[in-house]
């Protein structure tokens, strides 16, 4: 009985590489577990997105979550577990805009809508954007698997949809993969490189994303016009 851990909430499933469509965030049993786990993930999102994985410290996360460091490690077995839990629990949210793009809709409207939703996420969820950007920049050591399985599968499917639209003459015949890359690059740029954008634009511009939408809308309209 000496080696039997008390309970170990374990929080987010680390083995479950593909949460699919199960309940993403709410998992903890007790009310207090759920509250603390949520606070930890929120704090970790703040710190990891701002400092990167190595740059973040457990003390920073604990302080931001209003908990003690050992208490963090009561809910998560390690720093890396927190990071993985964050990434997996946010991947669904992050890819939702692409999932919403449906073949049954109007081609141009669907793509423009996707671009706009992605841009809105850059504005409203810049921390998530930077979290993923950090992970990818470092070579995706904790997400590489997901990229070449889940993400690739989703993009493959949507690329086929776009190719169908192009074949039907609804949009210009563009490479669907690089079209998606372009949407990613052009929208996430405003979240990931925010400081640079603001430094270049100067202090008077208050919301670069709004300007970006006025720039990107005609860009994609011209690109997609058959």
Partner DNA sequence: CCTCTTGCTGACCGCGTGGTCAAACCACCC
Partner DNA sequence: GGGTGGTTTGACCACGCGGTCAGCAAGAGG
Binding site for a second copy (CB under 8 A): 50-55, 130, 133-134, 136-140, 144, 147-148, 151-152, 155, 174-175, 177-182, 184-186, 188-190, 192-193, 195-197, 199-202, 211-212, 214-216, 218-219, 222-223, 225
Cβ 6 to DNA shortest distance, Å: 4
Cβ 55 to DNA shortest distance, Å: 8
* Structure-block tokens of residue 43: 């704090």
User: Is residue 162 a contact partner of residue 181, using CB atoms and an 8 Å limit?
Assistant: no
Q: Show the site string, 43-72: x = touches DNA by CB under 7 A, - = not.
A: -------------xxxx-------xxxxx-
Give the Cα separation of 108 and 172 in Å (integer): 10
Give the Cα separation of 193 and 130 in Å (integer): 9
User: Is residue 40 a contact partner of residue 67, using CB atoms and an 8 Å limit?
Assistant: yes
55 or 77, CB closer to a second copy? 55
Measured torsion, CA atoms of residues 71, 77, 78, 83, in degrees rounded to the nearest 10: -100
73 is a contact residue toward DNA (CB under 7 A): yes
138 is a contact residue toward DNA (CB under 7 A): no
Report in angstroms the alpha-carbon separations of 123 from 64, 85, 120.
22, 23, 5
Chain residues that interact with DNA, rule: CB under 7 A: 6-7, 9, 29-30, 32-33, 36, 56-59, 67-71, 73-74, 77-80
């Amino acid at each position: 009985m000496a080696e039997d851990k008390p309970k170990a909430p374990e929080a987010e499933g680390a083995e479950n590489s593909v949460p699919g469509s199960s309940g993403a965030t709410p998992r903890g049993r007790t009310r207090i577990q759920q509250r603390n786990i949520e606070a930890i993930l929120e704090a970790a999102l703040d710190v990891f997105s701002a400092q990167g994985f190595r740059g973040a410290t457990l003390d920073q996360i604990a302080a931001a979550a209003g908990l003690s460091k050992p208490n963090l490690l009561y809910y998560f077995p390690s720093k890396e577990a927190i990071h993985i839990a964050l990434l997996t629990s946010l991947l669904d949210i992050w890819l939702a805009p692409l999932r919403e793009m449906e073949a049954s809709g109007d081609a141009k409207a669907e793509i423009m809508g996707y671009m706009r939703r992605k841009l809105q996420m850059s504005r409203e969820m810049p921390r998530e954007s930077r979290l993923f950007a950090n992970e990818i920049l470092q070579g995706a050591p904790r997400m590489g698997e997901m990229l070449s399985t889940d993400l690739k599968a989703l993009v493959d499917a949507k690329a086929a949809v776009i190719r169908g639209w192009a074949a039907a003459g609804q949009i210009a015949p563009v490479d669907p993969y690089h079209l998606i890359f372009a949407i990613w690059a052009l929208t996430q740029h405003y979240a990931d490189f925010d400081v640079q954008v603001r430094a270049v634009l100067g202090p008077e511009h208050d919301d670069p994303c709004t300007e970006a939408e006025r720039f990107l809308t005609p860009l994609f309209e011209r690109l997609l016009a058959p």
